[in-house]
């Protein structure tokens, strides 16, 4: 049985691991060094959880972490990779490799989008994704639309309610 729990500050290490899992490294390229996640441009995605606008969930099965989805607001001065504006949270998500392909991502996405719309009164959510990553097509099927391309990745945007 899958359990979904809200993210709290004590899950910071797991969020850091999920961020690592979310970073796409094309086949044949050098692996990404986990220590780089301590750099400010990555750390802002998982550190200091519980800021205004933070929302996210983890999934567990039999007390084992499976994956996470979270969204966080960024500022003009400290933009995320999928930044659109200060009112649009940027989404991050990952499922541990052993649990991929089981519908966990869809469950998490449905929960997050529902909570953003109803509890946070958020109208849209963004993310950054490399178009070579298989998950790019999944996001497109879920209704995310291309906002812009920076030469490496797309910023995708999903409307979740009318303004």
pLDDT digits (tens, 9 = 90+) for 119-157: 767 899 999 999 999 999 999 999 999 999 999 999 999
Concatenate the DSSP letters of all residues of 80-125 into one string: -TT---TTSPEEEEEE-GGGTTSSHHHHHHHHHHHHHHHTS---EE
Strands 145-149 and 124-129: unpaired
- The mean per-residue pLDDT over the stretch 94-100 comes to 94
Question: Which residue from 116, 140, 126, 135 is spatially nearest to 57, judged by alpha carbons?
Answer: 116
The count of other CB atoms within 10 Å of the CB of residue 47 is 15
Domains in the chain, ordered, with CATH? 2-159 (3.40.630.30)
**pLDDT tens-digit readout, 10-47:** 999 999 999 999 999 988 888 889 999 999 999 999 99
Give the per-residue pLDDT at 119.
Answer: 73
Which residue reads 């972490």 in tokens? 65
Tokens describing residue 9: 């500050």
pLDDT digits over 2-19, tens only?
Answer: 899 999 999 999 999 999
Please say if the pLDDT value at position 163 is more than 70: no
- The tokens for 142 are 């879920």
User: Which of the four pLDDT bands, split at 50, 70 and 90, describes residue 117?
Assistant: confident
Q: How does 122-141 read in b/e, with b if 16+ C-beta sit within 10 Å? A: bebbbbbbeeebebbeebee
Instruction: Tokens 């099927």: give the residue.
Output: 141
Pairwise CA distance, residues 145 & 124, whole Å? 11
Q: Which residue has the tokens 């109208």?
A: 123
Give pTM, 2 decimals.
Answer: 0.93
What's the rounded Cα separation, in Å, for the pair 144 and 48? 28
Please give the pLDDT value at position 162: 55
Is the distance from CB of 143 to CB of 109 less than 8 angstroms?
no
Residue with the larger pLDDT of the pair 118 and 22: 22
């Amino acid at each position: 049985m899958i359990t979904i729990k809200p993210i709290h500050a004590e899950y910071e290490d797991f969020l850091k691991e999920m961020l690592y899992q979310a970073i796409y490294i094309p086949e044949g390229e050098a692996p990404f060094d986990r220590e780089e996640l301590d750099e400010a441009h990555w750390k802002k995605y998982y550190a200091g959880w519980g800021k205004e606008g933070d929302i996210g969930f983890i999934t567990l099965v039999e007390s084992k972490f499976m994956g996470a989805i979270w969204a966080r607001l960024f500022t003009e001065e400290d933009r995320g990779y999928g930044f659109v504006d200060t009112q649009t949270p940027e989404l991050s998500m990952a499922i541990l490799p052993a649990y991929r392909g089981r519908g966990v991502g869809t469950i998490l996405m449905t929960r997050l989008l529902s909570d953003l719309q109803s509890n946070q009164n958020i109208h849209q959510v963004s993310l950054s994704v490399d178009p070579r990553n298989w998950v790019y097509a999944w996001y497109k099927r879920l209704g995310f639309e291309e906002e812009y391309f920076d030469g490496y990745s797309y910023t995708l945007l999903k409307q979740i309610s009318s303004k």
